[in-house]
Structure 1
C-alpha cells in the first residue's frame, strides 16, 4: 500500500512551516513602546550629509539614536518577537520594581514619602 504523493508531502510542509514560524518568532525586534526620533542635515537629494567624510544612511542614524536611548536607559534593548506577542516581561522590567533582580535597591527615604525617620 503506497501513500499518495499529497499524503507524503504534507508532513514535510508542516515541519517546514513550523521551522519558518520558529525562526520568525525568535528574531530580535525593538520594543513597541520605544519611539526613536532624530534629525539630520540633508543635501539637495534628501539624503543625510556625510559625517567625517563617510556617507551615512537614514537607517544608520536611526540605529545610532536607538542605541543611545538604550545606553541611557530610556528604552529597553531588543528582545525576541515572541515575548511581545505574549506580553512576557522584558529583561528591563525588573528596573520598574524597587530592588528588582540585578538593580540596586531604592533607598527607603526615596521610596517612601513622608516625614524623615527618627522625628
Structure 2
C-alpha cells in the first residue's frame, strides 16, 4: 500500500499509485515526465532526479536546466548502449575537470 505522500504525488503527477509503486520498485525514472515538469512548471531537474537543491531554481539557473532538458531529450533518443557510452564519456570529462581544478589549486 502506498504511503499518503505517495498517493498525493501520484495524484499530482496524474498517474495511479500503482504506477508510482512500479517506478519505485524498478528504480525507474520517468525522464519524459521529469522533462515535462521542468519545462511546464519550472521545477529543477536536479531536484526531481537527484533530490538536490531547490525545487524551483533561481532565475539565473533556469538556463542550465533548459540545457539539461535538451541533453536528456537527446539521450532519450539513443539506444541503451549509446546512452552508456555517453555516460562514461561524461564521467571521464567530469573527472578530468576535477583533476584540472586540483592541479590548479596546487599551483597557487
User: TM-score, normalization: structure 2?
Assistant: 0.25
Structure with greater Cα Rg: 1
User: Which one has the bigger helix percentage?
Assistant: 2
- Bigger RCO (CA 8 Å, 6+ sep): 1
User: TM-score, normalization: structure 1?
Assistant: 0.24
